Structure 1
Amino acid sequence: MASRILQRVNAKQTALLVCDMQEKFRNNIKYFPEIVTVTKRLVDTSKILNLPIVATEQYPKGLGHTVPELGLAELNVPTFAKTVFSMVNDDVIGILESKSVKDIVLTGIEAHVCVYHTTLDLLEKGYNVHVVVDATSSRSMTDRIFAYKSLKQAGAVLSTSETIILGLLGGSHHPNFREVQKLIMESAPDTGLLGKL
């Protein structure tokens, strides 16, 4: 019998990674406002559930800082500048290891570049990676869709924000259920994926 890969997130060992959600990309990324809205839901859920959050910024001197709508500065989220395509560096891994993280919820841009390389690096290091398809995007829908196909083949779990949020709760018995439920009472915005995957 073939072994089965568990695809659940476990709030006790999960971190949210926010990849390069910067000002300069605002007018170039497909469905950027919607991606920000969905990512904000995940940030708020992580805050309520006390999950670690880590962010990166690609060459912030030229591309600006993380969009303020996410509220990462107010939460004192560790944010690291980078010039490579992966979020995975000693600082990020140090935080993940110090928090005993095994499951990664990954959001951000671009799906076919920094999200892609981050996922591959994390998978190589043995992490379970959940790429949130309605919280990641690219400048091109073609690049975005084929990134998801490649990431699935590589072993990442492709998921939606609501699946992740409710999976972290595990059920209505969770003490924070009602607080988190308020974040998803309205459906997540359309991020252009219907009929594409």
Structure 2
Amino acid sequence: MPVPFPDSTIFFCCDLQTGFRPSIYGYDQVVSTANKMVKLAKILGIEVVSTTQYAKVFGGVDPGVDLDSLGPLKLPTIDKSLFSMVTDEVKAILEARPHIKHVVIFGIEGQICVLQTTLSLLALPAKYTPYIVADGVSSSATFELPILFDRLRQEGAIVVTSESLGFQLVGTSSNPKFKAFSQFVKETKAATTKAGEVLLLGKSP
């Protein structure tokens, strides 16, 4: 399977909205990992697409997710009624970027919108490889997550952690951006550990 490089990758931030906070397990850890992915995108120059699910009811993207810091790497936030992020607007974004081969997905809700986004990507005529950030995905019911990750693997997605993906995208310590990336890893280590313990090991938030 092709190795992801920053110039062939786009990030999808799925439905991280204030209205879902009370119902999502480890919500704060998902936001924390989303911010980690935003910082990684800034270091490596990767564009980020975000969506909301019926924002009139559930609110906009959580202001705790620092999308505005991306500058021109921040693509429009698209409000949707589809559970999948792959709306006509998102399809147009992908079609305008034929160099994109890898789509990194994080957000909520895992067994609904993250799953259906992945299945939609895999069904497109263009060949995309979805990468699911396991420490950046959650659900209202924690029992859903291991079943979700098994299903995603069976369908052809790659389930990763935020840190392993970051190192894969950087590729080598000779990368000119490695120094900034290495500092970023150190700065986010405590939050990364907390997110993994809560979202993947089931420890109390």
Query: What TM-score results when the alignment is normalised by the length of structure 2?
Result: 0.88
Aligned partners of 2:75 and 2:161: how far apart in 1?
23
- The residue number in structure 2 matching 1:28 is 23
Q: Larger % of helix: which?
A: 2
Measured in 1, the distance between the counterparts of 2:88 and 2:178 equals 34
2:100 corresponds in structure 1 to: 101
In the alignment, is the contact (CA less than 8 A) between 2:104 and 2:131 conserved in 1? yes
**SS of residue matched to 1:129:** strand
- Post-superposition Cα deviations, 1:5-27, rounded to whole Å, max 9, x if no partner, equal 34x32212000000000001112
Q: After superposing the two structures, state which structure 1 stretch, 15-24 or 30-39, moved more.
A: 30-39
**Which residue does the alignment assign to 1:92?**
90
Q: Deviations over 1:16-58 (max 9, x none)?
A: 0000000011121111111111111111111221111100000
**Aligned CA-pair RMSD:** 1.7
| Residue of structure 2 equivalent to 1:174 | 175
2:37 aligned residue: 42
Shift of 1:80: 0.1
1:162 match: 163
Q: Output the CA distance in 1 between the equivalents of 2:26 and 2:155.
A: 25
Letter in 1 for 2:199: G
Between 1:140-149 and 1:114-123, the stretch displaced more is 140-149
Change (3 A) 1:42 1:74: closer
Q: Relative to structure 1, is the Cα distance of residues 195 and 30 closer, same or farther in structure 2, using a 3 angstrom cutoff?
A: closer
Number of equivalenced pairs? 191
Aligned to 1:79: 77
Equivalents in 1 of 2:69, 2:60: separation in Å?
14
Q: Deviation per CA, 1:158-179, whole angstroms, max 9, x where unpaired?
A: 0000011111100111111121
Shift of 1:74: 4.4
Q: Distance in 2 between matches of 1:165 and 1:95?
A: 23
Q: Report the alpha carbon displacement of residue 88 of structure 1 after superposing the two structures with TM.
A: 0.2
- Per-residue CA deviation, residues 151-195 of structure 1 (Å, 9 max, x unaligned), is 111111000000111111001111111212222212412233138
State the TM-score, normalized to the length of structure 1: 0.91
How far, CA to CA, are the matches of 1:124 and 1:170 in structure 2? 28
Where structure 1 has 5 or more consecutive residues not aligned to the other structure, the ranges are none
Q: Give the secondary-structure state (helix, strand or coil) at the position aligned to 1:141.
A: coil
Q: Please, which moves more after superposition, 158-167 or 144-153? A: 144-153
The residue number in structure 1 matching 2:121 is 122
CA distance in 1, matches of 2:5, 2:158: 14
Structure 2, unpaired ranges of 5+: none
Shift of 1:92: 1.0
Specify the code of the residue in structure 2 equivalent to 1:193: L
Tell me which residue corresponds to 2:109.
110
For 1:67 and 1:109, the matched residues in 2 are separated by: 12
Is residue 104–residue 132 contact of structure 2 (8 Å, CA) maintained in 1? yes
Q: Does 1:55 align with 2:71?
A: no
CA distance in 2, matches of 1:127, 1:90: 16
Q: Does the aligned pair in 2 maintain the 1:35–1:191 contact within 8 Å? A: no
